[in-house]
A and B are shown apart, each in its own frame.
Chain A
Amino acid sequence: MTGVPLIAARGIYKAFPGVQALDNVDFDLYLGEAHVLIGENGAGKSTLMKILAGAYHPDAGTIEVQGNEVKIQNPREAHSLGISIIYQEYNLVPFLNVAQNIYLGRAPRRQTPLLGALVDHKKMHADAETLLRSLNTDVDTHATVKFLGVAQQQMCEVAKAVSVNARVIIMDEPTAALTSREIEQLFNLIRLLKSKGIGIVYISHRLNEVHEIGDRVTVLRDGRYIDTKQVSEVTVDDMISMMVGRSIENLYPRNYREPGEMALRVTGLSSQALRLRHVNLNVRCGEIVGLAGLVGAGRTELAKAIFGATPYDSGAVEIFGQPIEKNNSPAKMVRRGVGLIPEDRKSEGLALILSVAENVVMASLERLFPRSFVSGKKEASVVDGAIKDLAIATPSGKRQVQFLSGGNQQKVVLAKWLATNSRLFIFDEPTRGIDVGAKAEVHSLMDRLVAQGAAVLMISSELPEILGMSDRVYAMHEGRVVAEVPRAEATQERLLAYMMGQENGNTRNN
């Protein structure tokens, strides 16, 4: 790479409450280059790109655009510097047409005197038409975006990004929702953009795409810059080991024992809407089964489908040997002894403004008080027992849950399910946003649960947690369970390879 980079970021720092998202990160991009950015969930890829696009401001560090230092205050300024970003999230307006979306915020006005406030629809559609044709797509500029397919919506996003005369286009996991044919179309588009001298930053979880579309690749890990390589010089295995890098500290308190009766058996569960494809898995009493996968692999969706919170199309679920009628409700699953500790504790696991006591008994009111009248005494004994048993740090059961720390909140969720006499627990990211000390406590509680004969299915994006806690691990990729790995054979490299869809990567059995 020679000459002045289109864009160069040096020594970028960015912290969010409780996390150092970026820690002295460098990144640069040259004319006509596709620079792939990879890293695990939470490595800081999206944060770095949002800084380049003006959506976040760095705490420290410099950004240069073609050699000139700039401060990018907001998305508008990024546009005027020729930097465009296609976010992971959907950024189109559903009930506007394609042309209106492409030129949102920049619609051409009529030139006629007095009518300058009005949109020149003719010119806007003509411009959009020209633009879309130059990108070799045939999307109708008058079509309402809501009714387009995912791939065509993606084309709109690309066209929108190009339309600001972008010299740098950042794509954050653009292929996440696309089929392989659509991905091929997108790659052709990227090659076309490169040939026009546009630089592409490409964030991806799919390592097999790196060689196909990338020129250079940069790896981030835990907010830190690891390395930048020519794509031709690295293998998929190299990239995985750069992404993983760390060794697991031995802070997982597990006592392994012989598993007992079957607690959960899922056979051929599929759902078009949830993007789940023929999922098979099982969990026995006395074991913790890890469910690994990247964001968007369908783990949370699977958990909610099993729990009866969202309907699925086909497949069978058995709980403690009993077949479950399809499209069950959480209420019935709770009665069968299943508890879900959701990923989003604050919105789905707890009623934040209610007290610890109210949260603890929430799921077991009918069981505790079959005559429909709540007895304060009985409630207090259950709640006080839970507080003591789980060592929940709260002055009393009357404390509002919102004032507890993350770890204690998680214990309250757990207490809620213990009060229902649950025996199968589905943990979705059990220690996300919890500090290290409380993490260990939650982990030892999980071990205690299985020691008492309960079964645990644990979703986690932290591979060390998966490896440290699980008896067995299932790896999910794009809505499928792609591998089952026993504890003895599980390594970060191997799981990551499965999670990335590298089924034949560096492993023997599938």
Chain B
Amino acid sequence: METRATTEQTKSLPSLLQRVPAVAWVLLALIAFFAMLAPGFFTLGNFLNIAVQGSVLMVLALAATIVILTQGIDLSSGAILTFSGIIAVLSMQAGLPAPLAMLAGLLTGLACGALNGFLVSWALLPPFIATLGMQGVAGGLAVVLSRAGAIYADAPFFTFFGSGRLLIIPMPFVVAAVAYLCTWVVLYQTPFGSYIFALGGNEAGAALSGVRTKSWKFGVYVFAGLLAGVGGVVMAARLRAADPIVGVGWEFDAIAATILGGTSFEEGRGGIAGTIAGVALIAVLRNGLNVIGLATAWQAAVIGTIIIGAIVLDVLLKRKGILK
């Protein structure tokens, strides 16, 4: 027994490499591939582009990661993103100062998340069903409130979060970084974070340890809803408009990024560091395929194929014991 434990703990370089998920290698390969094919790809300007494009997805993927760590799933994050953006912009049109309107957007996300959490924790709906319903409700309300068209806002404070810069760093990226930091603190520095791993790893065991599992699971969905709200407000700020279908399908990119990053539906395995690589992969793919000029119609199929390929590679390498 002791010997096994010590080998586990030895952190030689190869064993560190073993912990790098397959997605990171695929990512490096893609960057090299696009850099060779398109001269405009490997430039600082384009990387800033990628960072901006990936930021909202990052925020959403953080939410997906903590939910999946609890063995749940959130299919409503794209719709909540849309709905929150609509509420923020509508509030501004109604004369609310930009900061308060943005806060209204965040609270919208929080409220949707709370409803998800209630349905999962106390109404005992499977997360798949509860959040699928929420997807319909939030997405539908977004269409109703926007009268099925884009609505515009251009308050400087608001648009600063979409196109402004902090020194040279684009604001959406700053927001994503702050969201990452907050999620990191919650996940690794608070008891709540341990309970997230416990909910996914051994919910019954956690309950028998005296953890109030229902309340904390509720908290997970509230937090995820809030993050979706943040994503929605930043997205609207970037576009200077809220659009009733802007978030359609984003939940799947967020889930894909999470899985690519090595978080699994089993046992509460994973974490948010891998999710960065998953998001980067998707953002680089979308950008790179544009830069090399692949027709939009083909992009979805190619992206889907590469995502599946990367996940299969990760699973196979883990099964063969090459990766941990």
Question: Which residues in A have some Cβ–Cβ distance to B below 8 Å?
Answer: 53, 55, 74-76, 79, 85, 87, 89-96, 100, 104-107, 109, 117-119, 121, 138-140, 142-144, 146-152, 160, 182
List residues of B (204-219) whose CB comes within 8 Å of A's CBs. 204-211
In the complex, besides A95-B270, A105-B210, 15 extra interface pairs with C-beta distance below 8 angstroms are: A55-B208, A87-B208, A92-B202, A93-B197, A93-B268, A94-B268, A105-B211, A118-B185, A118-B190, A138-B2, A143-B5, A148-B5, A148-B8, A152-B1, A160-B209
Closest residue of B by beta carbon distance from A155: B1
Give the distance in Å from the alpha carbon of A91 to the alpha carbon of B204 in the complex.
8
Q: CB-nearest residue of chain A relative to B270?
A: A95
B interface, size bucket = 20 to 34
Residues of B within 8 A of A150 (CB): 1
A182 touches B1 (CB 8 A): yes
Tell me if B9 counts as interface (CB < 8 A to partner A).
yes
B290 beta carbon closer than 8 Å to chain A? no
Q: Check if B205 sits within 8 Å of A119, measured CB to CB.
A: no
Asked if A149 and B1 make an inter-chain contact with CB atoms under 8 angstroms apart, the answer reads yes
Q: Across the interface, which residues of B come within 8 angstroms of A106, CB to CB?
A: 210
Contacts of A89 in B (CB 8 A): 204-205
In whole angstroms, how far apart are the Cα atoms of A100 and B198 in the complex?
A: 10
Closest A-chain residue to B200, C-beta based? Answer: A95
Q: How many cross-chain pairs have Cβ atoms below 8 Å apart between A and B?
A: 99
Q: How far is the CA of A104 from the CA of B195 in the complex (A)?
A: 8
A75, B207: Cβ atoms closer than 8 Å: yes
Q: Assess whether A104 is in contact with B4, with CB atoms less than 8 Å apart.
A: no
Instruction: Say yes or no: A93-B202 contact (C-beta < 8 A), given A104-B211, A105-B211, A118-B190.
Output: yes
A75-B197 in contact given A92-B202, A95-B269, A182-B1 (Cβ < 8 Å): no
B210 touches A95 (CB 8 A): no
Provide a sorted-by-A list of 28 A–B residue pairs whose CB atoms are within 8 angstroms. Answer: A74-B210, A75-B210, A89-B205, A91-B202, A91-B205, A91-B208, A93-B202, A94-B267, A94-B269, A95-B200, A95-B267, A95-B270, A96-B194, A96-B198, A117-B190, A118-B185, A118-B190, A119-B189, A119-B190, A119-B194, A121-B189, A140-B5, A143-B8, A143-B9, A146-B267, A146-B269, A149-B4, A151-B1
User: Which residues of chain B have C-beta atoms less than 8 A from A117's C-beta?
Assistant: 190
* In the complex, chain B residues whose CB is within 8 Å of the CB of A95: 197, 200-201, 267-270
Using a CB-CB cutoff of 8 Å, which residues 248-282 of chain B contact chain A? 267-270
B5 touches A107 (CB 8 A): no
Contact (Cβ within 8 A) A152 B198: no
Q: Does B95 contact A (CB under 8 A)?
A: no
Contact string against A for B residues 160-204, beta-carbon threshold 8 Å, 1 for contact and 0 otherwise: 000000000000000000000000010001110111011011101
| B205: nearest chain-A partner, CB-CB | A91
Would you call the interface of chain A mostly helix, strand, loop, or mixed?
A: loop
Give CA–CA (A74, B5) in the complex, Å. Answer: 35
Residues of B within 8 A of A118 (CB): 185, 189-190
Q: Are A93 and B1 interface neighbours, CB within 8 A?
A: no
Bound-complex Cα distance A95 to B4 (A): 17
Q: Mark B214-248, 1 if CB is under 8 A from A, else 0.
A: 00000000000000000000000000000000000
**Distance in angstroms between the alpha carbons of A146 and B268 in the assembled complex:** 11
For B264, the closest partner residue in chain A by CB is A95
Q: Report B96-132 residues with CB < 8 Å from chain A CB.
A: none
Q: Which residues of A contact B207 (CB under 8 A)?
A: 75
Q: Point out the residues of chain A lying under 8 angstroms from B267, CB to CB.
A: 94-95, 146
Q: Is the CB of A93 within 8 A of B5?
A: no
- B8 is contacted by which of A53, A79, A147 (Cβ under 8 Å)? A147
Cβ–Cβ < 8 Å partners of A94 in chain B: 201-202, 267-269
Cα-based distance from A94 to B206 in the complex (angstroms): 11
Complex Cα distance A138/B205, Å?
A: 24
CB of B30, distance to nearest CB on chain A (Å): 29
CB < 8 Å: which of A105, A143, A149 contacts B209? A105
Name B206's contact: one of A105, A140, A151 (CB within 8 Å).
A105
> Which residue of A55, A76, A104 is within 8 Å of B198 (Cβ)?
A104
Q: How far is the CA of A142 from the CA of B5 in the complex (A)?
A: 11
Closest 5 pairs between A and B when the two form their complex, measured CB to CB: A91-B205, A76-B210, A149-B1, A93-B201, A93-B198
- In the complex, the answer to whether B5 meets A152 with C-beta atoms within 8 Å is yes
* Structural contact, A100 and B190, CB atoms closer than 8 A: no
Chain B min CB distance to A188 (Å): 15
Interfacial chain B residues near A182, Cβ < 8 Å: 1
Contact A93 B4 (CB under 8 A): no
- Chain A CB within 10 Å, residue with most, of B1, B190, B204: B1
Q: Are A75 and B208 in contact (CB under 8 A)?
A: yes
A139 & B209 in contact (Cβ 8 Å cutoff): no
Distance of A147 Cα from B193 Cα, bound (Å): 20
Expressed in whole angstroms, the minimum distance between the Cβ of B210 and any Cβ of chain A is 4
Select A91's contact among B5, B189, B209, beta carbons within 8 Å: B209
| Bound: A79/B211 CA distance, A | 12
In the complex, A96 Cα to B267 Cα: how many Å? 10
Contact, CB under 8 Å: B205 / A90? yes
Question: Nearest CB to that of B201 among chain A residues?
Answer: A93
Closest to B266 in A: A94
